Structure 1
Amino acid sequence: MCKTPCENGTYGSDCNNTCGHCTDKESCFHTNGTCLVGCDPGYVGELCKTVCSQGTFGKECNSTCGNCLGECDHISGTCSNGCTPGYIGPLCRTLCSSGKYGENCNNTCGFCSDQNDCSHVNGTCFSGCDLGYVGALCKTACNNGTYGKECNNTCGYCLDQDECHHINGACVKGCGPGYLGDLCKTACYSGTYGIECNSTCGYCLDGASCSHIDGTCLNGCDPGFIGAMCRKRALEVLSFKATSLVVREGTPFEMRLSFRNMTECEFQWFHGDYEVTNTSTRYAMAMSKTDNGTSILTLHIGKSLKRDESKV
């Protein structure tokens, strides 16, 4: 008699059609399958058989998917394949916490100027790097003898040419010869040189300062000194002996001078304005050398005259 309506979620001719995803599993209209109270989350259309389009989900497909890798579930919005870098949570809508970034927020920000202020997606430091670091991620320490902001400063004269601290430029092992200070950029003060400037210059010409690095006298030595550092005496007197400290008329006299000379030299003896030479029969002057490099100069007066009298 066709008087019994379709039931148990069916509709249409001979009740051969199944109802769609009607809200709260309510049955659809038995004639045309319309969901009278709307669709379950994830479906749209009068029959509630159309899945939400890509990128949407939920009730009436009014919600937008989060930052999923691929599509989200059309019903719950869950990202089944995980989140794009910088996001976490089942819906991939939660940003990485401060100081974290990347896939699953597993990466830590580098040395950014504003501490943890990096991009939650790729880790880029928005305001640049802290002292001692460079690169988009600010994870590369200064090298090749540089330090400080953007590695724009050059290390000082560190010991053994060692690199300085990449942040503040301090020479960890101390300074090379000729420099002092934490940064080893201050040359030794005048008159000093070497490690920690602990050495004193030699007898440089006219009191000029020596090289602050190795102590070399750049303009030469004061009279009487030789060598690159002007520390060796050209003539080093070792001893002086005389038969008497007073020369008197009619008495013999002899004095002997022992010295070490670093250069070839000639000696002249004077008594007042009178030059003593071997041409006189009264004077005998001789010089000899020993095996150890010592020279001995001897002056002998056989018989002193009035003009020879003096104190030695």
Structure 2
Amino acid sequence: AGISADGQVSSGIFANSTGSGSTGNLELNTNELIVRDGAKVSVSSTGSAQQAGSLNINAGSILLSNQGILEAITTSGNGGNITLRLLESLIMRHGSKISTTAGTAQAGGDGGNITIDASNGFIIGVPNEDSDITANAFTGNGGRISITTQGIFGLEFRDKPTPLSDITASSEFGVNGTVEINQLNIDPSQGLSNLPDEPGTPQPLQGCRGGGIQSGGQFISIGRQGLPTNPYEFLDSSDIWEDLQPARELAENATEPPERIVEATGWVVTEEGEVILVAQMPSVASRVGCLR
């Protein structure tokens, strides 16, 4: 939905009532809904109807830009109900509105209900662009706003409307309504060790008395940036590899010196009659015969 080609008339989808008759309901199913340039998706009542209709939208994502409006408002009766079911995100820019406000003509009527289910997505706005989610009233009671999302950015709950981007369920003269916001995002600080702001003063060690019972000590490795150490982390250049295997002695190769070949200088005859070459002749004691 947007504006006409000549820029004079805003287009939209309407199920409105201008008299005393009932306002119809409207249901949209789409992958992407874009409402911009003053266009509206409306189930409002500008007459004397007691209540506006219901607007149900099932979409992958919704973009409201440049005063794009989703509304179920009344001038005098109770505001209608708006239910948004999103697979992804809701983005609100440049004065866009989601409203079930009642009594816009300063008349009675309670504010309607707004339910936004973006369990897997986000709701995103810009703080100073006056993009609002409202279930307000004038003399009646404020409506009820229920939001479930992974996170809300740029819009804040406030007691009354302001020039900023608001989430309000207020009443000018009646009782304020309720706003319930369930943010499902995970706190990134979970699982971290809480470290003291200032290091503790070291205490001197106490001596051990013989025979006494002493409690055992402990060692805690905090790791970098307060995170516990992980055995699967990569080593960096400051880590030193230490081999704790037992030292082994290298066995030396024992080699026998080769036998030296010596030239024979003689021979001897054994008692068995074998002749053996020898390098050195054995000395033989000479016998001197006796003369008779």
Q: What range describes the TM-score normalised by the shorter chain of this pair?
A: under 0.3
Per residue, is there more helix in 1 or in 2? Answer: 1
Larger RCO (CA under 8 A, 6+ residues apart): 2
Q: Normalising by structure 2, what TM-score?
A: 0.24
Structure (1 or 2) with the larger CA radius of gyration = 1
